[in-house]
Structure 1
Amino acid sequence: MSMSLQSEIEDLWSQYQNDEIDAETSMEDLTVLGDFLDALEDDEIRAAEKSGGEWEVNEWVKQGVLLNFGLRQISKYEYGDVTYNDVLPLADSDEYGDRGSRNTPNGTVVRRGANIGSDVIMMSPSFVNIGARVGDGTLVDSCDTVGSCAQIGDDVKLGANTLIGGVLEPVEDAPVIIEDGVSLGAGCRVTSGFIVGENSVVGENTLLTPRIPVYDLVEGEIRYGELPPERRAFIRYVESSVGDHDLFDGGAYKPAVVATHIEEETLEGTEREDALRE
């Protein structure tokens, strides 16, 4: 099914890029776009997948997401007592409970085309955008945002007020990846296709982006764009060369991320939280 859907999306994308689609999208094209959203929600297709230990982008999936924005008209929708205007409705959450997932009231918003796994806990307010995947057993805490096409693994904890950035364009760029078993502390920001390796624990208010170096003390390396598996990471500020400028009397500092071994007490803390959630 996905191969046929892929060819239909790629054909639509080519027409769209070459301005070959009329101003009003045909019912046939809308059907393809709807089938595409269904496939995303059913986890039949993903914006990125791991193959041979490396994450690979499915460009055609990101093309399909962009087509849903480009070829649909803005419509009015109802959400509780609120009328809103968008090109997409919200996802149908009726089946969440059947697979053990919870979405609390007053602001738990999942946009059409997002995949929510089994035994997921979504606290309000929180938002999951189109193309994103939230894996089985994951906690999306209050005031969290999961951006478009972000891939969140199984048994992940997103602390309160965490931002997972979306990456739509260019289509060949990888989305943010949070692998299985990761715990992100409150207020973390993960953007621009950063990959957080499995079972890592990230301290609160840490910014993970390819523009900020990760000092991996385990391997003795400086990394960009990724945090290896099994790390404890936290934000620190290191002296910047710009500190020599007259404008920065007394020096200046830039953010960095320090990664170390996961300490035993850190593991015990996450295990206690797992017990509370059960």
Structure 2
Amino acid sequence: MSTLETDIETLWERKQNGEVDAQSAGEDEHATLEAFLSALEDGDIRAAEKRGGEWEANEWVKQGILLNFGLRENRAFEYGGVEHYDVLPLRETEDLGERGTRNTPNGTAVRRGAYLGSDCIMMSPSFVNIGAYVGDGTLVDSCDTVGSCAQIGENVKLGANTLIGGVLEPVESAPVIVEDNVSLGAGCRVTSGFVVGENSIVGENTLLTPRIPVYDLVEEKVIYGELPANRRAFTRFVESSVSDHDLFEGGAFKPAVVATDVEEETLEATEREDALRE
């Protein structure tokens, strides 16, 4: 167990026992909080990691994030010439240029404690929250939000107006995961700890949440809370259990996600493109 992990867990216990709060926290406590945020921004620690093929939350990291809210006082900050109030400032971004990462002006905001990899692009306006991890070569497009603790892999494309939800509490719950080489179409929503498997392509305006079933036509089963790797997914509507109610003339329907093999879909698209060019 690292010294930082031990310090955070000790501070968490003191906070839970009422031994320290925002008013009584001193230099030692704030030094721990600052070291913790710097470790997040450097990518040395993460809110969740894949172990044995499964994503698991690092509870102590989520505790550290909550401590940064609970042991700091609300105060004035300035961003873009506008004064605002928060317990945390935005992240300093002078390290991004040397790693080839771009954050375009007029509206890109990265909160303290967020990690951005090399060769990333953040288009205006977009927002990355505390504890989020954005892998190398990933595009965060206009009007995108990457929520607290969300883990975004390498070479991911988040289409414009995409929402990646945050999962901060409870601390044992894994956040939203988008694995490597995923493409999310414009207007997608991924929430409540949903896992999007690597190399998948998700059609625009698709809602991925554990409450909506995924009809996986590759494995021929219905699953919840994840989209397997190498899938092409899109929204369809299936008959609801209340379809026969008198109020629903013509039947009632609910959303579902249909998943097919991404390689087959890509091949068909390529064949159509070739036909058009002949």
Interval containing the TM-score (normalised by the shorter chain): over 0.9
Q: CA deviation at 1:75?
A: 1.3
SS at 2:243 equivalent: helix
The TM-score normalised by the length of structure 2 is 0.94
Give, in whole Å, the separation in 2 of the partners of 1:264 and 1:97. Answer: 39
* Count of equivalent residues: 269
Match of 1:230 in 2: 230
Match of 1:165 in 2: 165
The answer on 1:33 being equivalent to 2:33 is yes
- What is the percentage of aligned positions where both structures have the same residue? 73
Match of 2:10 in 1: 11
The answer on 1:209 being equivalent to 2:206 is no
* AA partner of residue 144 (structure 2): D
Give, in whole Å, the separation in 2 of the partners of 1:76 and 1:112. Answer: 15
Report if aligned partners of 2:75, 2:86 keep a CA contact under 8 Å in 1. yes
Alignment of 1:84-103 (within 5 A): 84-103=84-103
- The alpha-carbon distance between structure 1 residues 267 and 150, as it changes in their structure 2 partners (threshold 3 A), is farther
Give, in whole Å, the separation in 2 of the partners of 1:64 and 1:246. Answer: 52
Match of 1:192 in 2: 192
What stretches of structure 2 of length at least 5 have no aligned partner?
Answer: 271-278
Give, in whole Å, the separation in 2 of the partners of 1:252 and 1:4. Answer: 56
Give, in whole Å, the separation in 1 of the partners of 2:267 and 2:56. Answer: 30
Q: Which moved more, 1:51-60 or 1:149-158?
A: 51-60
Q: CA deviation at 1:267?
A: 7.0
Report if aligned partners of 2:232, 2:265 keep a CA contact under 8 Å in 1. no
Give, in whole Å, the separation in 2 of the partners of 1:107 and 1:25. Answer: 33
SS at 2:35 equivalent: helix
Spell out, residue by residue over 1:219-261, the C-alpha distance to the aligned partner (whole angstroms, 9 max, x if none): 0010100000000000111010112223323211100000001
Give, in whole Å, the separation in 2 of the partners of 1:249 and 1:197. Answer: 38
Q: CA deviation at 1:53?
A: 1.2
SS at 1:55 equivalent: strand
Q: CA deviation at 1:91?
A: 0.5
* AA partner of residue 86 (structure 1): D
Match of 1:274 in 2: none
CA RMSD of aligned residues (A): 1.5
SS at 1:77 equivalent: strand
Q: CA deviation at 1:18?
A: 1.7
Give, in whole Å, the separation in 2 of the partners of 1:268 and 1:5. Answer: 51
Match of 1:67 in 2: 67
* AA partner of residue 13 (structure 1): W
What stretches of structure 1 of length at least 5 have no aligned partner?
Answer: 271-278
The TM-score normalised by the length of structure 1 is 0.94
Tell me which stretches of 4 or more aligned residues in structure 1 moved more than 3 Å: 263-270
Alignment of 1:101-250 (within 5 A): 101-250=101-250
Q: CA deviation at 1:268?
A: 9.6
Q: Which moved more, 1:233-242 or 1:23-32?
A: 23-32
Give, in whole Å, the separation in 2 of the partners of 1:100 and 1:256. Answer: 39
- The alpha-carbon distance between structure 1 residues 268 and 149, as it changes in their structure 2 partners (threshold 3 A), is farther
Q: CA deviation at 1:61?
A: 0.3
SS at 1:109 equivalent: strand
- The alpha-carbon distance between structure 1 residues 111 and 266, as it changes in their structure 2 partners (threshold 3 A), is same
Q: CA deviation at 1:197?
A: 0.2
SS at 1:244 equivalent: coil
* AA partner of residue 16 (structure 1): K
